[in-house]
Amino acid sequence: MKYWNKRLQQMTEYIPGEQPDNLNEFIKLNTNENPFPPSPAVLEALQKACNGDLRRYPNPNAQMVRELFAKKNSLTENNVFVANGSDEVFTLLFRGFIEPDGLAAFPYPSYALYYTMAEANGIAYDKITLDKNLDIPFDEFLKKKYNLVIIANPNNPTGKGVPIDQIKKFCAKFKGLLVADEAYVDFYNETALPLIKEFDNIIITRSFSKSYSLAGLRVGLAIAHKDIIQGLIKLKDSYNVDRIAQAGAYAALLDERGFNYNISMVRNNKEYLEEALASLGFESVPSKANFVFTKHPTVSAKLLYETLKENKILVRYFDGPIQSEYIRITVGTMMEIKRLITVLSEIIKG
């Protein structure tokens, strides 16, 4: 393509899960969205923010969100960066926190956007394959001089979590920057947040897309040592998070009751889904997230994916080693899960 630079020509495009325009046509269990809407308090705050003040630029640093998150987590606002989705944090890290000739590393399989974004920013990287138990082989990340490592915890698409002690040991040995992408952490019990006070080489990212039911709003966070946060602020576009998104994120952080209710519902449904899958003979990776990575001993993942799609149920299927044995199913509502299980049981019986 004329005018594309080499990097753009060569990079692999990221293909997000299918997003049908008509949300009612499909049961959509393919992009780890929350099956329940944002809480009434959040929707009300959002509506209130749709006012004449929109003619004004937003606060450049989403100051109120920074302060509230910091207060809730016994940090200072200088440890918190608000982004247009956690994707923006990754892009900024590749641009400002690794030299153009540096080397990054990511587990494989993991969130494919890490690879895409490294390529889009011209950063070379290694993929470190998960071990036999689908765990992250941390020692492998110490064998070369990596400048930037991103792990998802819990990992996507496996749903496995890493205990904080293991991350702590790694940070102590590692000379580069470790990013722990905690997009799914609210469905888990362990966060690496306390490590921020101990290490200056860990960056934690969070998302409002999953546990806060706000995938449509695009808000993410980075939490790290204040020098890292200052660099992210220096590098970002001047107004990266819009007024309404700031209001929504603030309200979501405030509404702890709505949040806890949502999380417990998702956990209950996940338990039901895991049991129902087991009863059909599926082998699932024990999930710390809001999705289940599962395979069947007799029916291929690809066939499951395709047949479900014919039945208007979208789940995620990834090509490639390890991944292609599995489908990834987002935890839905009970009605969605029941329909899924009915169709799966028909497929399996042939």
Residues between 55 and 74 with contacts to a second copy, criterion CB under 8 A: 55-60, 63
Sheet containing 148-152: give its strands across: 80-83, 220-223, 202-207, 177-181, 148-152, 103-108, 124-129
The residues, any chain, with a CB within 8 Å of residue 63's CB and separated by 6 or more, are 77
Q: Shortest gap between Cβ of 308 and a second copy (angstroms)?
A: 19
Select 85 or 157, whichever has its Cβ closest to a second copy: 85
Stretch that binds a second copy, among 83-91, 125-133, 190-198, 330-338 (CB under 8 A): 83-91
- 229 belongs to the binding site for a second copy (CB under 8 A): no
**Site membership for a second copy, residue 51 (CB under 8 A):** yes
Please identify, using beta-carbon distances, which residue of 215 and 341 lies nearer to a second copy.
215
Q: Which of residues 209-228 bind a second copy (CB under 8 A)?
A: 209, 213-218, 227-228
Spatial CB neighbours of 24, under 8 Å, sequence gap ≥ 6: none
Instruction: Report the site for a second copy in 26-45 (rule: CB under 8 A).
Output: 28, 31, 33-38, 43
> How many Cβ atoms are within 10 Å of 227's Cβ, its own excluded?
9
Closest to 214 (Cα-Cα) out of 253, 248, 240: 248
Per DSSP, the three-state class of 127 is strand
**Does the protein bind a second copy through residue 100 (CB under 8 A)?**
yes
- Rounded to a whole number of angstroms, the minimum distance from the CB of residue 318 to a second copy is 15
Which 263-322 positions form the footprint of a second copy (CB under 8 A)? none
Query: Does 50 engage in binding with a second copy (CB under 8 A)?
Result: yes
Total of residues contacting a second copy (CB under 8 A): 81
Q: Where are the alpha helices (DSSP H) in 2-124?
A: 6-10, 40-49, 63-72, 86-96, 113-120
165, 238, 297, 349: which one binds a second copy (CB under 8 A): 238
Find all residues with CB under 8 Å of 186, minimum gap 6, and list them.
Answer: 210, 211, 259, 263
Q: What are phi and psi of 332, to 5 degrees?
A: -105, -160
Number of neighbouring beta carbons within 10 Å of residue 23: 8
Range 182-211, binding a second copy (CB under 8 A): 200-201, 209
CB of 12 or CB of 268, closer to a second copy: 12
Beta carbon nearer to a second copy, 33 or 181: 33
